[in-house]
Amino acid sequence: MSIILNASQINSILNNLAEQILSDVPKIEDLAIVGIRSRGEILGNRLCDLLSHKTDKDILCGTLDITMYRDDLNDPQGAAQPLVRTTEIDFDIDNKTIILADDVLFTGRSARAALDALIDLGRPKAIKLAVLVDRAGREFPIQADYAGYKTDVAPDQRVQVHFVESDGKDEVEVDVVE
Protein backbone atom coordinates (compact mmCIF):
# COMPACT_ATOMS: atom_id res chain seq x y z
CA MET A 1 0.00 0.00 0.00
CA SER A 2 1.24 3.47 -0.84
CA ILE A 3 -0.32 6.81 -0.04
CA ILE A 4 -0.53 9.04 -3.12
CA LEU A 5 -2.45 11.96 -1.57
CA ASN A 6 -2.45 13.23 2.00
CA ALA A 7 -4.95 15.52 3.73
CA SER A 8 -3.29 18.80 2.74
CA GLN A 9 -2.97 17.67 -0.88
CA ILE A 10 -6.65 16.71 -0.94
CA ASN A 11 -7.61 20.12 0.47
CA SER A 12 -5.50 21.86 -2.16
CA ILE A 13 -7.07 19.75 -4.92
CA LEU A 14 -10.58 20.55 -3.68
CA ASN A 15 -9.81 24.27 -3.71
CA ASN A 16 -8.46 23.97 -7.26
CA LEU A 17 -11.55 22.04 -8.38
CA ALA A 18 -13.81 24.72 -6.88
CA GLU A 19 -11.87 27.47 -8.67
CA GLN A 20 -12.08 25.59 -11.99
CA ILE A 21 -15.82 25.15 -11.59
CA LEU A 22 -16.33 28.83 -10.75
CA SER A 23 -14.33 29.94 -13.78
CA ASP A 24 -16.26 27.58 -16.05
CA VAL A 25 -19.89 28.08 -14.94
CA PRO A 26 -21.36 31.30 -16.37
CA LYS A 27 -24.31 31.65 -13.94
CA ILE A 28 -23.70 30.50 -10.39
CA GLU A 29 -27.47 30.62 -9.79
CA ASP A 30 -27.90 27.72 -12.22
CA LEU A 31 -25.25 25.55 -10.55
CA ALA A 32 -25.96 22.41 -8.53
CA ILE A 33 -23.59 19.77 -7.17
CA VAL A 34 -24.75 16.15 -7.06
CA GLY A 35 -22.53 13.56 -5.38
CA ILE A 36 -22.66 9.87 -6.24
CA ARG A 37 -23.10 7.73 -3.12
CA SER A 38 -21.03 7.14 -1.15
CA ARG A 39 -17.68 8.91 -1.37
CA GLY A 40 -18.85 11.10 -4.23
CA GLU A 41 -21.48 12.36 -1.82
CA ILE A 42 -18.74 13.52 0.57
CA LEU A 43 -16.77 15.10 -2.28
CA GLY A 44 -19.94 16.84 -3.51
CA ASN A 45 -20.74 18.20 -0.06
CA ARG A 46 -17.22 19.54 0.34
CA LEU A 47 -17.35 21.20 -3.08
CA CYS A 48 -20.73 22.74 -2.18
CA ASP A 49 -19.29 24.16 1.02
CA LEU A 50 -16.23 25.56 -0.76
CA LEU A 51 -18.27 27.08 -3.58
CA SER A 52 -20.79 28.58 -1.16
CA HIS A 53 -17.96 30.10 0.87
CA LYS A 54 -16.19 31.48 -2.22
CA THR A 55 -19.35 33.02 -3.71
CA ASP A 56 -21.29 33.93 -0.54
CA LYS A 57 -24.27 32.14 -2.13
CA ASP A 58 -26.01 28.91 -1.25
CA ILE A 59 -25.15 26.26 -3.82
CA LEU A 60 -27.72 23.54 -4.44
CA CYS A 61 -26.41 20.17 -3.33
CA GLY A 62 -27.78 16.67 -3.63
CA THR A 63 -26.93 13.00 -3.44
CA LEU A 64 -27.57 10.37 -6.09
CA ASP A 65 -27.90 6.63 -5.48
CA ILE A 66 -27.05 4.72 -8.68
CA THR A 67 -27.58 1.18 -7.40
CA MET A 68 -30.58 0.42 -9.63
CA TYR A 69 -28.78 1.83 -12.69
CA ARG A 70 -25.64 -0.28 -12.39
CA ASP A 71 -24.97 -2.67 -15.25
CA ASP A 72 -23.74 -5.38 -12.85
CA LEU A 73 -26.94 -5.44 -10.80
CA ASN A 74 -28.01 -8.85 -12.10
CA ASP A 75 -24.51 -10.31 -12.24
CA PRO A 76 -24.80 -14.06 -11.53
CA GLN A 77 -21.41 -13.92 -9.76
CA GLY A 78 -22.72 -11.28 -7.35
CA ALA A 79 -23.22 -12.95 -3.98
CA ALA A 80 -25.00 -10.26 -1.99
CA GLN A 81 -28.13 -8.25 -2.54
CA PRO A 82 -27.29 -4.63 -3.38
CA LEU A 83 -27.96 -2.00 -0.76
CA VAL A 84 -30.33 0.54 -2.29
CA ARG A 85 -30.31 3.90 -0.55
CA THR A 86 -32.14 7.12 -1.23
CA THR A 87 -31.45 9.77 -3.80
CA GLU A 88 -31.68 13.13 -2.07
CA ILE A 89 -32.13 15.88 -4.63
CA ASP A 90 -34.69 18.32 -3.27
CA PHE A 91 -34.53 20.77 -6.16
CA ASP A 92 -35.57 20.83 -9.79
CA ILE A 93 -32.62 19.85 -11.99
CA ASP A 94 -34.21 21.22 -15.18
CA ASN A 95 -32.03 23.88 -16.83
CA LYS A 96 -29.34 23.55 -14.16
CA THR A 97 -25.65 22.98 -14.73
CA ILE A 98 -25.08 19.83 -12.69
CA ILE A 99 -21.62 19.03 -11.42
CA LEU A 100 -21.64 15.30 -10.84
CA ALA A 101 -19.07 14.46 -8.14
CA ASP A 102 -17.34 11.13 -7.61
CA ASP A 103 -14.20 10.09 -5.81
CA VAL A 104 -12.51 8.00 -8.54
CA LEU A 105 -13.09 7.76 -12.28
CA PHE A 106 -11.89 4.38 -13.51
CA THR A 107 -13.99 2.40 -16.02
CA GLY A 108 -16.68 5.04 -16.49
CA ARG A 109 -19.46 2.64 -15.48
CA SER A 110 -20.50 4.54 -12.34
CA ALA A 111 -20.57 7.82 -14.25
CA ARG A 112 -22.69 6.22 -16.97
CA ALA A 113 -25.14 4.91 -14.38
CA ALA A 114 -25.29 8.35 -12.75
CA LEU A 115 -26.05 10.00 -16.09
CA ASP A 116 -28.96 7.62 -16.62
CA ALA A 117 -30.27 8.28 -13.10
CA LEU A 118 -30.03 12.06 -13.51
CA ILE A 119 -31.78 12.07 -16.87
CA ASP A 120 -34.66 10.16 -15.28
CA LEU A 121 -35.05 13.09 -12.85
CA GLY A 122 -35.22 15.88 -15.41
CA ARG A 123 -33.44 17.76 -18.13
CA PRO A 124 -30.37 19.66 -16.95
CA LYS A 125 -28.77 22.34 -19.10
CA ALA A 126 -25.45 20.51 -18.77
CA ILE A 127 -23.89 17.72 -16.73
CA LYS A 128 -20.18 17.95 -15.95
CA LEU A 129 -18.10 15.39 -14.09
CA ALA A 130 -15.75 16.33 -11.23
CA VAL A 131 -13.55 13.64 -9.69
CA LEU A 132 -10.88 13.65 -7.04
CA VAL A 133 -8.82 10.94 -8.80
CA ASP A 134 -8.81 10.13 -12.52
CA ARG A 135 -7.12 6.83 -13.27
CA ALA A 136 -6.50 4.94 -16.50
CA GLY A 137 -8.68 2.01 -17.56
CA ARG A 138 -11.82 3.38 -19.22
CA GLU A 139 -14.30 0.90 -20.57
CA PHE A 140 -16.77 3.61 -21.62
CA PRO A 141 -16.05 6.86 -23.49
CA ILE A 142 -16.40 9.06 -20.42
CA GLN A 143 -13.96 11.68 -19.21
CA ALA A 144 -13.84 14.08 -16.29
CA ASP A 145 -14.41 17.77 -16.90
CA TYR A 146 -12.64 18.50 -13.62
CA ALA A 147 -10.02 16.04 -12.38
CA GLY A 148 -8.06 16.72 -9.24
CA TYR A 149 -5.29 14.15 -9.61
CA LYS A 150 -4.46 11.88 -12.53
CA THR A 151 -2.72 8.58 -12.01
CA ASP A 152 -1.86 5.60 -14.16
CA VAL A 153 -1.92 2.65 -11.79
CA ALA A 154 -1.70 -0.96 -12.92
CA PRO A 155 -4.92 -2.88 -13.65
CA ASP A 156 -4.35 -5.13 -10.60
CA GLN A 157 -4.18 -2.11 -8.29
CA ARG A 158 -6.99 -0.29 -6.55
CA VAL A 159 -7.26 3.41 -5.76
CA GLN A 160 -8.95 3.82 -2.39
CA VAL A 161 -10.15 7.24 -1.21
CA HIS A 162 -10.58 7.84 2.51
CA PHE A 163 -12.46 10.85 3.84
CA VAL A 164 -12.52 11.96 7.43
CA GLU A 165 -16.35 11.95 7.39
CA SER A 166 -16.51 8.20 6.73
CA ASP A 167 -13.04 6.86 7.51
CA GLY A 168 -11.56 9.19 10.11
CA LYS A 169 -8.80 10.40 7.79
CA ASP A 170 -8.26 12.16 4.49
CA GLU A 171 -5.94 10.26 2.17
CA VAL A 172 -5.81 8.39 -1.10
CA GLU A 173 -3.91 5.13 -1.28
CA VAL A 174 -3.07 2.57 -3.93
CA ASP A 175 -2.95 -1.10 -3.07
CA VAL A 176 -3.02 -4.43 -4.87
CA VAL A 177 -6.41 -6.06 -5.43
CA GLU A 178 -6.44 -9.54 -3.91
At 80, the pLDDT band (50, 70, 90 cuts) reads low
Of 15, 13, 22, which Cα lies nearest the Cα of 132?
13
At 155, the pLDDT band (50, 70, 90 cuts) reads confident
Average pLDDT of the residues in 80-86: 71
Q: Looking at per-residue confidence, does 91 or 155 come out higher?
A: 91
Give tens-digit pLDDT for 23-71.
Answer: 999 899 999 999 999 899 999 999 999 999 999 999 999 999 999 887 6
pLDDT > 90 fraction of the chain, expressed in percent and rounded: 82
If you average pLDDT over every residue of the chain, what do you get? Answer: 93
Average pLDDT of the residues in 66-82: 69
What gap in Å lies between CA 178 and CA 175, rounded to an integer?
Answer: 9
Domain ranges (residues) in the chain? 2-70+85-176
Read out DSSP for 32-74? EEEEETTHHHHHHHHHHHHHHHHHTSPPEEEEE--GGG-TTTT
pTM: 0.91
User: To 5 degrees, how large is the angle CA 121–CA 132–CA 123?
Assistant: 15
What gap in Å lies between CA 131 and CA 101, rounded to an integer?
Answer: 6
What gap in Å lies between CA 74 and CA 171, rounded to an integer?
Answer: 32
Greatest mean pLDDT range, 58-72, 79-93, 109-123: 109-123
Please name the amino acid found at residue 19: E
What pLDDT score was predicted for residue 1?
85
CATH assignment of 2-70+85-176, among 3.40.50.2020, 3.30.70.270, 3.10.20.880, 1.10.3720.10: 3.40.50.2020
What pLDDT score was predicted for residue 77?
60
Q: Is the pLDDT of residue 140 over 70?
A: yes
